[in-house]
Amino acid sequence: MDLDPRQYEHVSISDGDVRKVVLSYLVHNCFNETAEAFIACTGMKKPLDYPVEMEKRKLIFRFALEGNALKAIELTKELAPNLLEENKDLHFDLLSLHFVDLVRSRKCTEALEFAQNQLTPFGKVQKYVGKLEDFMALLAYEEPEKSPMFHLLSLDFRQNVADGINRAILAHSNLPCYSSMERLVQQTTVVRQYLEQELGKDGPPPFSLKAFMKS
């Protein structure tokens, strides 16, 4: 059983705060037109830190999600100079995404040449060695989609890379890496976990967003 709604129905939440949470989600996820319409129909004032490069960030996210990593890299260098030089993990993920796209397209020779020129230097750093081995192992299979590393070819992998670059660009612009809505859910989850540990069976059950949405 979840918390009885009567325990929190009396808590007052201002409409202004709710609108800010919604706008934060729209801006974070690059829903530019929807955000502009939301501001107009609610009469909100546009925040001082309202991003002006949302469309370009949206393009970068889309290119990464589609597996067009080279275009995502190009636009990232325009929007956030030095970001990829400073964030080697992100740069590695994007280069790996291009390698995977070549493998998926059965351009194995091109993929091998790209790996030798662009990915091999990362092998000097221990934390990348295991990842490189997994990526290179894709070349050993005629049908990499059926290999033990099939997840590297999945939409989930591209989604993770796209989310990562979106958060990195926001941080580079001194904006929150997560939307207010995400942070509320994160904090709620942690608080409920803490209460469960402290109070045991007398405490509330662990927070489940899925269960809450059904309540």
Predicted structure pTM score: 0.79
pLDDT at 1: 43
* Residues 89-141: tens digit of each pLDDT: 999 999 999 999 999 999 999 999 999 999 999 999 999 999 999 999 999 99
Range in 76-90, 102-116, 199-213 the model is least confident about:
199-213
Alpha carbons 22 and 211: distance in angstroms, whole number: 21
> Count of residues for the chain?
215
Six token digits for residue 133: 């081995």
Place of tokens 């325990």: 7
> Is residue 198 very low, low, confident or very high in pLDDT (cuts 50, 70, 90)?
confident
Percent of the residues in the chain that have a pLDDT greater than 70, as a whole number: 86
At a CB cut-off of 8 Å and minimum separation 6, what does 206 contact?
189, 192, 193, 196
pLDDT at 202: 66
Six token digits for residue 150: 């099939």
Per the CB < 8 A criterion, the answer to whether 39 and 46 are in contact is yes
> Is residue 186 very low, low, confident or very high in pLDDT (cuts 50, 70, 90)?
confident
* Residues 25-70: tens digit of each pLDDT: 888 888 888 988 999 999 888 876 677 688 899 999 999 999 999 9
